[in-house]
């Protein structure tokens, strides 16, 4: 027996899907317009998780050009069948619904097989006992639609040899209630002669929920569970600390225990910088239906898991992360960039650090600027970076950025003026409009400059260390605009480093290190 602490994967890890293979569990999440796409996690106890790679880690797999921040990859599903792992997903920017396969979940994964005729989003795949395979997806009702969010869940047979849909599609379900909004994210299971369909309903906001229906045949008719929704927090009020619960997936352990993963959000004062995170709940079956966290009926801070504790090599929940770039051969799986980054603009140089080539694409563009970051996973954290002073130039800017989207971010900007002085500027971008908060000429600049971003819930501050002098550049910056509630979309914040230029250049900003830590841990 071991104990999980919710969220089991904190920060921007939405739309979880899970599968079990023997005593191993694998989990994937949506990534939208971040690259690489679809992180894949591994665990043996459902409590501790280690990222082992990405499903979509090659440019050829993942065309994201032209997509908005909250487009790209929607709602992957991971399944295992007869020695092969399958991930089925939607690329909402380019290509539509697709399948990729792998023998090893750590990769490499195949090039995507795009499914002709598979309209809509949020696909899943189901392997029946008779050898047949089915595609289950969500598509909006077009003709005679009564309201926005009116959708059908549909099923069609899938030929894995040709990776094509066969036969005729059939609409089988439209949600648990009349006028339900956005029935989506279906997952299908078979248990005791019934086909059980798990759904997300109500939209991925405060009315989000998990519902279930079942049928004796895969084509229906499906009967509604009289206790729907089987999990939601929409009745707990706007001040409850965990909101927007939905988009679940079930997994059975080798000993017959059942659990559910799902997304939820942890707002502060009604605002969420972390995005949608991955949570865990216990499930039992009663009278042929699942009960989530029996006797409680909501998500809990802790979950008892009937599995032996397992320690990963590198946990995704580490509260202190130190990246000495000059000593690293490659960036960790936790690092992401935007859309389709040019790998030549990101170079780890032994004994020097991470070289970020200055690029004319800005953070404000729906493009692939030079940016590399990690997910914000805590409400209170500090991010430090040391940049070499001789890699800062006139007409170029580099620094730390807290990025919600291309339209909403907070960034520090080191640059050089015409007189050779190094300046530090702080910008807050809201709705594609940048406002300069402060500008400071740095003194006592030696070989290195340390930037320190501190986030305290819904405010942020910036410090700079030059030589022996530490200076508060800005404090108490209101970052409520960098939240889901203010900015919209489906993503949480990432924090990282960027390099932008007004002119074409081969110059690069050189970062010696990067540190992310919770505020209660002291940097040595």
Model confidence pLDDT, tens digit, residues 456-499: 999 999 999 998 788 999 999 999 999 999 999 999 999 999 99
Assess if residue 523 is contained within a domain: no
Q: Which of 239, 271, 305 is the last residue of a domain?
A: 305
- Say if 312 falls within a structural domain: no
Neighbours of 169 (CB within 10 A): 17
pTM recorded for the entire structure: 0.96
Asked if the model's pLDDT at residue 18 lies above 80, the reply is: yes
Which parts of 293-395 are beta strand (E)? 302-305, 320-324, 337-338, 346-349, 353-357, 370-375, 380-388
171: left (phi over 0), alpha (psi -120 to 50) or beta: beta
Q: How far apart are the C-alpha atoms of 515 and 524, rounded to whole Å?
A: 11
Cα-Cα-Cα-Cα dihedral of 324, 327, 333, 337, to 10°?
70
Residues 287 and 385 in one domain: no
Please count the residues of the chain: 524
Please say whether the beta carbons of 113 and 84 come within 8 A: no
Domain assignment present for residue 134? The answer is yes
Does 441 share its domain with 509? yes
Q: Which helix (H) or strand (E) holds 484?
A: helix 484-487
Query: Using CA atoms, how far apart are residues 147 and 506, in angstroms rounded to an integer?
Result: 52
CATH number of the domain bearing residue 190: 2.115.10.20
Q: Which residues are catalytic?
A: 15, 184
HSE toward the beta carbon, residue 100, CA cutoff 13 A? 29
Are 242 and 327 within one domain?
Answer: no
Q: What domain range includes position 358?
A: 320-518
User: Does 259 share its domain with 376?
Assistant: no
pLDDT tens readout for residues 117-161: 999 999 999 999 999 999 999 998 888 888 888 899 999 999 999
Question: Is 17 a domain residue?
Answer: yes
pLDDT band at 520 (very low <50, low <70, confident <90, very high): low
| 227 occurs within a structural domain | yes
Which of 492, 469, 471 has its CA nearest to residue 482? 492
pLDDT in tens, 292-319: 999 999 999 999 999 999 999 999 999 8
């Amino acid at each position: 027996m071991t104990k999980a602490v919710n969220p089991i994967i904190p920060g921007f890890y939405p739309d979880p899907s899970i599968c079990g293979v023997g005593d191993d569990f694998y989990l994937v999440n949506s990534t939208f317009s971040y690259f690489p796409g679809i992180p894949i996690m591994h665990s043996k106890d459902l409590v501790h998780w280690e990222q082992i790679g990405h499903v979509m880690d090659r440019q050829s797999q993942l065309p994201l050009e032209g997509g908005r921040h909250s487009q790209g990859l929607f709602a992957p599903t991971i399944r295992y069948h007869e020695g092969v792992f399958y991930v089925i997903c939607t690329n909402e920017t380019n290509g539509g619904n697709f399948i990729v396969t792998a023998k090893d979940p750590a990769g490499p994964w195949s090039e995507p097989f795009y499914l002709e005729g598979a309209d809509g989003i949020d696909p899943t795949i189901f392997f029946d006992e008779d050898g047949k395979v089915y595609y289950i997806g969500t598509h909006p009702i077009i003709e005679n639609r009564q309201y926005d969010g009116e959708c059908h869940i549909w099923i069609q047979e899938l030929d894995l040899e040709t990776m094509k849909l066969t036969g005729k599609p059939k609409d089988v379900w439209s949600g648990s209630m009349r006028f339900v909004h956005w029935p989506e994210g279906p997952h299908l299971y078979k248990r005791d002669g019934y086909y059980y369909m798990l759904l997300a309903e109500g939209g991925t906001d405060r009315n989000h929920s998990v519902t279930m229906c079942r049928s004796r045949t895969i084509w229906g008719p499906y009967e509604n569970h009289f206790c729907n929704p089987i999990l939601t927090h929409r009745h707990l009020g706007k001040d409850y600390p965990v909101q927007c619960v939905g988009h679940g997936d079930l997994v059975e352990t080798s000993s017959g225990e059942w659990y559910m993963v799902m997304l939820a959000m942890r707002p502060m004062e009604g605002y969420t910088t972390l995005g949608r995170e991955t949570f865990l709940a216990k499930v039992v079956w009663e009278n042929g239906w699942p009960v989530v966290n029996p006797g409680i009926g909501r998500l809990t801070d802790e979950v008892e898991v009937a599995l032996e504790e397992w320690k990963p090599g590198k946990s995704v929940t580490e509260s202190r992360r130190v990246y000495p770039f000059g000593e690293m051969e490659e960036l960790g799986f936790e690092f992401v960039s935007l859309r389709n980054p040019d790998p030549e603009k990101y170079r780890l140089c032994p004994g020097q650090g991470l070289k970020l080539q200055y690029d004319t694409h800005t953070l404000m563009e729906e493009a692939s600027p030079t940016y590399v970051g990690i997910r914000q996973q805590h409400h209170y954290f500090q991010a430090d970076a040391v940049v070499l002073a001789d890699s800062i130039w006139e007409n170029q800017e580099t620094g730390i950025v807290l990025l919600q989207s291309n339209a909403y971010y907070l960034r520090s900007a080191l640059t050089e003026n015409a007189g050779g002085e190094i300046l530090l500027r702080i910008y807050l971008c809201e709705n594609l409009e940048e406002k300069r908060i402060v500008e400071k000429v740095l003194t006592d600049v030696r070989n290195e400059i340390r930037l320190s971003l501190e986030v305290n819930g819904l405010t942020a501050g910036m410090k700079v260390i030059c030589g022996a002098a530490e200076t508060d550049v800005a404090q108490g910056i209101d970052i409520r605009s960098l939240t889901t509630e203010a900015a919209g979309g489906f993503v949480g914040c990432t924090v990282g480093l960027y390099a932008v230029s007004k002119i074409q250049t081969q110059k690069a900003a050189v970062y010696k290190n990067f540190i992310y830590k919770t505020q209660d841990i002291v940097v040595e």
